[in-house]
């Protein structure tokens, strides 16, 4: 019987194990953490966003520069297949108002329990063996590509298999197991890698002490941001985000984070423009500002005429000069396009996901490393990134599915 090592018990590794075990292959699933799916469970804490219900052509384009490579995997295991797979585990799903797809109970734990029960059940195929608290440290000198060495609670151990699937994650949330340590091991073996970078991340700004003390942690709701990079690519979207003690974070910021991150890498800073009143025309804003305010303070005038107060009003005072605040034309322009300067991304450990990783050019279409025959890669450790909204999880599942199929093709060809 053929035997395959799968490293990493996240969605990509579990999906590769499912494909292989269903085909009757013996799977040894190895992970450094004490339990499986830790990042998966935390990501689903506020409601597990499994995938997105938008058309396939639009869905694949969410993967940016790697849309073509991801489309090949999504054609086999995309959003419709993710929902059918969840259904096969007894988990019904629904489409939210934003197009995001969730389990009906919104929870990750029941799905993970059902999934593990399937993988451990011999009637499904060949049951998967789990080896937890085993940290991969590389290959023994002169060893075959599929003979790996691990540190465990009983000391150093080795596993030999017919093929290996690496699904070790990126470098975000290292306390949950994905720390990017695998990059050194693969680079030493000649595997082409793109440096890991934070994705879906927050940014640092230069706030005053006064602003931080009073407004850190507050949300900017019903706003819009506009960002244009050096190539003229424009991002513009309405939503909300949060002011933090160090800068900004939240869904609207994350959606533009890859563009703003790359701009900072090129120029050392980036600036987006914040529309504090996206549902109000500029002409009306100027008219309201020009309305006589009598003895009222400017703050009371802005609150009365435009309903600008709280953190929105504080941002105007934080980023504009006193002269600009008292010039109606300049203030009206700033309300619709307030420049917010970003100085740096937050550390990769804080990011929701990572960009960079194993280059697709370093792999075969079946996701086998060209430099290491018999070794396959899947999940977030591949060189792709996507926004939140179900795209990250679907990408991991799709690549895990493709790696599993690639291993089966490899085993058939080598038998």
**Which residues partner with 139 through β-bridges?**
148
Q: Give per-residue pLDDT as tens, 248-282.
A: 999 999 999 999 999 999 999 999 999 999 999 99
Which parts of the chain sit beneath pLDDT 50? none
Nearest to 319 by CA among 283, 274, 261: 274
Closest CA to 167 of 401, 332, 389, 324: 401
Domains of the chain and CATH, by start: 3-198+354-414 (3.50.50.60), 203-345 (no CATH)
Percent of the chain with pLDDT over 90: 89
Burial class (CB within 10 angstroms; exposed 0-12, middle 13-18, buried 19+) of 95: middle
Q: What is the pLDDT of residue 144?
A: 86
Instruction: Give the tokens for residue 223.
Output: 């706003």
Beta bridge partners of 382: 358
Tell whether the torsion through CA atoms of 351, 10, 409 and 157 is positive or negative.
positive
Give pLDDT, residue 94.
Answer: 96
Angle subtended at Cα 215 by Cα 240 and Cα 327, rounded to the nearest 5 degrees: 80
* pLDDT (0 to 100) of residue 121: 82
pLDDT for residue 354: 96
Q: What is the pTM of this model?
A: 0.93
d(CA 281, CA 279) in angstroms, rounded, equals: 7
Write the CA distances from 310 to 63, 134, 211, 239, 300, integer angstroms: 36, 50, 11, 17, 11
Q: Concatenated DSSP letters for 181-250? A: THHHHHHTTT--EEEEEEES--EE----HHHHHHHTT-EEEEEEEEEE-TT--EEEEEEEEEE-SSEEES
């Amino acid at each position: 019987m053929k035997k395959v090592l799968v490293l990493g018990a996240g969605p990509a590794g579990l999906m590769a194990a499912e494909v292989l075990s269903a085909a009757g292959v013996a799977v040894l699933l190895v992970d450094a953490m004490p339990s499986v799916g830790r990042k998966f469970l935390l990501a689903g804490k506020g409601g597990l966003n499994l995938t997105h219900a938008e058309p396939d052509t639009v869905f694949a384009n969410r993967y940016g520069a790697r849309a073509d490579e991801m489309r090949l995997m999504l054609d086999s295991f995309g959003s419709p297949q993710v929902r059918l797979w969840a259904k096969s585990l007894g988990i019904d799903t629904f489409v939210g108002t934003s197009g995001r797809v969730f389990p009906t109970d919104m929870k990750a734990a029941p799905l993970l329990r059902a999934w593990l029960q399937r993988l451990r059940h011999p009637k499904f195929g060949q049951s998967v063996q789990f080896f937890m608290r085993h940290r991969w440290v590389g290959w023994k000198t002169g060893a075959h590509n599929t003979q790996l060495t691990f540190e465990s609670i009983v000391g150093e151990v080795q596993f030999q298999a017919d093929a290996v699937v690496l699904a070790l994650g990126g470098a975000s949330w290292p306390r949950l197991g994905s720390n990017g340590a695998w990059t050194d091991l693969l680079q030493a073996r000649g595997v082409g890698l793109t440096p890991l970078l934070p994705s879906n991340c927050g940014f640092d700004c230069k706030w005053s002490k006064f602003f931080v003390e009073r407004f850190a942690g507050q949300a900017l709701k019903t706003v819009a941001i506009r960002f244009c990079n050096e190539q003229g690519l424009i991002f513009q979207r309405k939503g909300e985000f949060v002011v933090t003690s160090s800068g900004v974070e939240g869904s609207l910021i994350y959606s533009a984070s890859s563009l703003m991150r790359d701009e900072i890498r090129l120029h050392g800073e980036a600036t987006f423009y914040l529309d504090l009143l996206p549902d109000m025309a500029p002409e009306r804003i100027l008219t309201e500002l020009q309305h006589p305010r009598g003895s009222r303070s400017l703050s009371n005038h802005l609150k009365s005429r435009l309903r600008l107060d709280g953190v929105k009003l504080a941002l105007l005072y934080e980023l504009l000069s006193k002269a600009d605040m008292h010039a109606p034309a300049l203030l009206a322009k700033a309300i619709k396009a307030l420049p917010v300067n970003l100085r740096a991304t937050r550390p990769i450990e804080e990011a929701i996901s990572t960009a960079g990783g194993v280059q697709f050019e370093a792999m075969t279409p079946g996701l086998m490393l060209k430099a290491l025959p018999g070794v396959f890669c899947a999940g977030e450790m591949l060189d792709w990134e996507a926004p939140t909204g179900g795209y990250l999880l679907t990408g991991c599942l799709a690549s895990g599915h493709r790696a599993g199929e690639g291993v089966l093709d490899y085993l058939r060809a080598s038998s």
